[in-house]
Structure 1
Amino acid sequence: MAGELAINLATTRGSWGFAEAADGCLQRGISAIAPWRDQVAAVGLAEAARIVRSEGLRVTGLCRGGMFPAETESGRQAAIDDNRRAIDEAAALGADCLVLVVGGLPGSSRDLSAARTMVENGIAAMLPHARSIGMPLAIEPLHPMYAADRACVNTLDQALDLCAYFGEGVGVAIDVYHVWWDPKLPTAIARAGRMNCILAHHICDWLVPTRDLLLDRGMMGDGVIDLAGIRQMIEAAGYTGPEEVEIFSRDNWWRQPGETVLATCIERHANLQSQGRT
């Protein structure tokens, strides 16, 4: 069966904060959300947790931890400390996982290998705390265009290599925007299924042309990603969890009322469900 619709609260960032977005989702029968840490901080962690509990919301993930590479040892330690706080925040919200965007090249570095070693060291340092409170870590590989500034883990296979290395408590978040282009995606998704480490599935679309590589994601159906095909592969790999809409759209969807954004998400998700998936 097709996944439940979830809303990453980046999608309604243009018009709603945490409380408004939660209420807007609930009014439309959506009970699964994924907030960002700044949105939680704006309303307060205790209040956000109260809303989640009182309304019976499922938090499919907290965005985000990661950003491990830094030029100095103190900078790397500060990132680890912040990630430990993020684990606690995710636990307070009852999140399914903490999503990790691992970080890119620090400062003026050109050494990707060193950056990836910093990522491994950072995850190793935070993992005992995550395991101690049962909070899964979901590594999200990002499109190679972000290798320098946002994430030096750029393919699903790279992320799965880290999962294999760390073992228990580390999985992946598969965001179609970042992985749709990968010729090895089918085998990587099948591998993720064998490893039982798919923790989240994020959806949106890739627009042609894309006017801004960060802030011009498309609504499902407006671009070129084979969303139904990728979902079929993910379900064949054993994951039947939510399909989480995550759209950064500074000049389009963030300029529209939250009600309009959610109505469109619901309509487009229904269209995907009707495309013959089992």
Structure 2
Amino acid sequence: MSSLDRFSLNQATTKYWPIPDLVAGCVDAGVTRIGLWREETAAYGLDKTADLVRDAGLTVTSLCRGGFFNQPGWYDENRRAIDEAATLGAPTLVLVSGGLPEGSRDLDGARAHIGEAIGQLVPHALAAGVRLAIEPLHPMFCSDRCVVASLGQALDLAAPHPSAAVGVVVDTYHLWWDDQVWAQIERAGREDRIACFQVADWITPLPEGVLLGRGLPGTGSVELRRFREAVDATGFTGPIEVEVFHADVWARPGRDVLDETIQGYVEHVL
């Protein structure tokens, strides 16, 4: 087995690398899997992206993102996202739930709405062959970006729905702080809910604008290998996406970032 058999480069890590160059760079480096983002695929062209990736022999591991259920028009927007994932051949649509509705302090109500919203999307997702993946984000994003702040909360929201339709995202950047995460990863495996596994490091100090505080594997504080071993212990054998948001990383040439990403993945994740 090659060390890159499960490796997937999430497009966010090389945000400004044009899609044709991203695809060519992955092929040249022996990378066979990529995670895509809706904004970039729309800019290049959804069907063009699907054809380009397919012709290059690459597998799309996920599409980011759906969710934001606190926004008007969330239902139609998420149905479109499901259809886009199906066109790209992505088995998983990552859902970032959205923060509190404007003027609200009702976290319980916001989380209940997410569960109801996902339930409304399940029939369309099943028909399209796309699995919805609820991503918990670090609690610091709770007010404005994602009221789902732990893996346990994500699993509770997924529980009423078929596991084939709704799973969860295990993302090291968002979950590394939680002393309950190991038990929740075991639960996620037992309930067949792991739909996506993403790795990034937590760098210190965080830059201004903490959303862009992710580091390449091995540059921060996270026990990345421990996460990989815990996820593997559940029986999950799917792709391992490296997804990094950082302005300094984005400013570098895409191929340089890919090479360092692979090196960090081999040394600190495997």
| Percentage of pairs with the same residue | 45
Partner Cα distance (2:198, 2:118) in 1: 22
Q: Secondary structure at the match of 1:61?
A: strand
| CA RMSD, Structure 1 to Structure 2 (Å) | 1.4
Partner Cα distance (1:21, 1:150) in 2: 28
Counterpart position of 2:168: 172
Counterpart position of 2:219: 222
Q: 1:234 aligns with which of 231, 234, 258?
A: 231
In the alignment, does 2:249 pair up with 1:248? Answer: no
Q: Is the 8 A contact 1:99 1:140 kept in 2?
A: yes
Q: Is the 8 A contact 1:19 1:43 kept in 2?
A: no
- 1:193-252: CA deviations, max 9, x gaps? 1011111111110011111310121111111100001111000011122210100001x1
Q: Is the 8 A contact 2:217 2:269 kept in 1?
A: no
Once the two structures are TM-superposed, the CA of residue 149 in structure 1 deviates from its matched residue by 0.9
Higher relative contact order (CA 8 A, sep 6+): 1
Counterpart position of 1:11: 13
Partner Cα distance (2:121, 2:20) in 1: 29
Q: 1:259 aligns with which of 255, 261, 269?
A: 255
- 1:32-53: CA deviations, max 9, x gaps? 0011001100111110110122
Higher strand share: 2
Equivalence map 1:62-141=2 (5 Å): 62-70=63-71, 75=72, 78-141=73-136
Partner Cα distance (1:273, 1:7) in 2: 14
Q: Is the 8 A contact 1:18 1:35 kept in 2?
A: no
Counterpart position of 1:142: 137
Counterpart position of 1:26: 27
Unaligned runs of 5+ in 2: none
Counterpart position of 2:185: 189
TM-score, normalised with respect to structure 1? 0.92
Equivalence map 1:205-220=2 (5 Å): 205-211=201-207, 212-220=209-217
Once the two structures are TM-superposed, the CA of residue 273 in structure 1 deviates from its matched residue by 5.4
Q: Is the 8 A contact 2:91 2:129 kept in 1?
A: no
Q: Is the 8 A contact 1:140 1:173 kept in 2?
A: yes
Aligned amino acid, residue 133 of structure 1? A
Name the count of aligned residue pairs. Answer: 266
